[in-house]
Structure 1
Amino acid sequence: MILPVYRVSVWVPTEHVQRVLDGICAVDDLRIGDYDRVAWIAAPGVEQFRPLTGADPALGTIGELESGASVRIEFCIPRDSGRLQRVIDDGIRPHHPWRIPAIFVDESLLPLP
């Protein structure tokens, strides 16, 4: 069986990973088969950004390059646009420290036994 899914990836500062995961799972159980809260958390990496004039940065100073440790949280949900919107609007954004989190969505296929 092949399940059409949205594969969602979001980059999160390391100290906020559990908060974001808990927010996502409060909206969606991330169930695949007989398992729930199914997610993959990548090894820490580094993100960088420079706040520009007009920005209201949670971290950093206008005009200065900032960097910090972050990880990628990735999970799959069945392709349902309403469900995806709820996960993003109610699960990720309110629990993420950035005003504009780096969220990526791909259409993918998940082979199930």
Structure 2
Amino acid sequence: MTLPKLDNDRFVPERGLRIIVQVPDSHAQRIVDAVLAEDALKYGDYDSVTYRTAPGTQQFRSLGSGRNAATEKVVEVPCVELSFFIGDDEANAVRVLKAIYASHPYEEPVVLVGPCLRTLHIRGLDEDNPNRFWNSDAEDWVPEEHR
């Protein structure tokens, strides 16, 4: 896959990998903690940057060729998706993926890895933009330290 260059004067594009993991919600933080032990998940001036969806339904049927017996019917499990970006470093990616496998409750976790571009702001630009949270009354989601 060829990714665009996105040359511009507003943000800096950076190549890397987007990793998506489907996991039962009760195990999601364990996965995040295992990943953070391998990579700080920096995103510009922030770290520990992950995204977790609301629970949805993952379905599967065991074929019986692995550790678990075959299931006659499809099984449904409430799961979330975790996603995050890591830099384009193969050795680091392998460490992160091994951490996911080691901390995931499934025999065959659903883990998707794809090349992507992320965009990082250029520090100091657009700070007077009226849409920035610091230029208006603080909303509930703004951390107390930033009010």
**Alpha-carbon deviation of 1:64?**
3.1
For the 8 Å contact 1:55–1:62, the answer to whether it is kept is no
Letter of the 1:27 partner, please give it: E
* Alpha-carbon distance in 1 for matches of 2:65, 2:19: 29
Letter of the 1:82 partner, please give it: A
Letter of the 1:41 partner, please give it: R
Among 86, 95, 115, the alignment partner of 1:86 is 95
1:108 aligns with 2:116: yes
**Alpha-carbon deviation of 1:61?**
5.8
Q: Which runs of 5+ in 1 are unaligned?
A: none
RMSD between aligned residues: 1.4
1:97 aligned residue: 105
The structure number with the bigger radius of gyration is 2
**Alpha-carbon deviation of 1:63?**
2.6
1:42 aligns with 2:53: yes
For the 8 Å contact 2:64–2:70, the answer to whether it is kept is no
Identity of paired residues, percent? 33
- Which deviations, in whole Å up to 9, do the C-alpha atoms of 1:52-73 show, x marking residues without a partner? 223323xx86333211100000
- Which deviations, in whole Å up to 9, do the C-alpha atoms of 1:33-83 show, x marking residues without a partner? 2211100101110001111223323xx863332111000000001111111
Among 14, 23, 26, the alignment partner of 2:34 is 23
Give 1 or 2: higher strand fraction. Answer: 1
For the 8 Å contact 1:53–1:63, the answer to whether it is kept is no
* Alpha-carbon distance in 2 for matches of 1:69, 1:53: 22
Letter of the 1:17 partner, please give it: A
* Alpha-carbon distance in 2 for matches of 1:96, 1:19: 8
What is the TM-score normalised by the length of structure 1? Answer: 0.90
* Alpha-carbon distance in 2 for matches of 1:88, 1:38: 17
Q: Which runs of 5+ in 2 are unaligned?
A: 1-11, 122-147
Among 7, 31, 35, the alignment partner of 2:18 is 7
